[in-house]
Structure 1
């Protein structure tokens, strides 16, 4: 004769089995890799996050050394309400330490009086290189680069305006 199991004992066994199955199911769906600990210094405390140093003018450096500052100044002016004024870029570059006598800038107004589609400006660096920037509606974001000087020691092709202010 079969005996019916005690109902309280069978409920406990079912609940225990269900709990074990649920735990197994939840742990099998979780991540398999352990979390990566934060980097620590020799003392065991988390390393502080280092923010990059602001670019600086390097008078005895190369054009490449000064490109980060040239690009930062260009981006700063581009983000201002003077972003279509060639003079604003030249003034900001002079304020950052670049040599005005080594600069060129194109017109920021077309021959018929419309705003220029792009403005180019440059700083001659040494005897062989130039820092060159281009901004305007046709370029979208500012573009800066180190380029070789032209044969006559200029950086920009075509007519440029005097920087006599």
Structure 2
């Protein structure tokens, strides 16, 4: 069991490193410190819904024919909203909320809410594969601080998240 825990922890760290490297790569390509593909999310006080940033308010709903970058604001708004609620540590809450605004559940991945020994996960990642071209990726949890959302490239295996993810079978 200890070996499995180390493997799961290693997969989570590899995911975090890849997310960070991809974000740096995207930032480096644009020549600016903040690119449209990078939207930090801000938590709201308990009991209140999150207030979307100016870029998040630009798109109030899903743009089915749009790009991943065009849908990042709604992805971020949904992430902020769930983070501000009482189910912030539950991956299913993010998936259900994203489905609720029109994202395709079949294109999603989510990591476990708990470690193999039953402790709360230090971070939860969730993603939406957008048109088989790019990934909308979110990360939340105590190790993350404020929620983070990004548009990242699809991995070589056609998925968005590295390592083991949980089945979305609800």
* TM-score for both structures, normalised by structure 1: 0.68
Distance 2:163 2:149 in 1: 18
Measured after TM superposition, the shift of residue 54 of structure 1 is 5.1
Does residue 163 in structure 1 map to residue 168 in structure 2? yes
For structure 1, which runs of at least 5 residues remain unmatched after alignment?
1-51
Distance 2:130 2:58 in 1: 23
Does residue 125 in structure 1 map to residue 130 in structure 2? yes
Aligned positions of 1:63-102 closer than 5 A:
63-102=68-107
Tell me the matched-pair count.
114
Match of 1:61 among 55, 59, 66: 66
Measured after TM superposition, the shift of residue 152 of structure 1 is 1.2
Measured after TM superposition, the shift of residue 53 of structure 1 is 4.7
SS in 1 for 2:145: coil
Distance 2:132 2:109 in 1: 15
The aligned counterpart of 2:155 is 150
For structure 2, which runs of at least 5 residues remain unmatched after alignment?
1-56
Map Cα deviations across residues 6-57 of structure 1 (whole Å, 9 max, x no partner): xxxxxxxxxxxxxxxxxxxxxxxxxxxxxxxxxxxxxxxxxxxxxx555210
* TM-score for both structures, normalised by structure 2: 0.66
Which stretches of structure 1, 4 residues or more, deviate above 2 A after TM superposition? Answer: 52-55
Select the structure with the greater relative contact order (CA < 8 A; seq sep ≥ 6): 2
Measured after TM superposition, the shift of residue 60 of structure 1 is 0.5
Give the number of the structure whose alpha-carbon radius of gyration is greater.
Answer: 1
RMSD (CA atoms): 0.9
CA contact (8 A) 2:125 2:137 kept: yes
Distance 1:111 1:80 in 2: 25
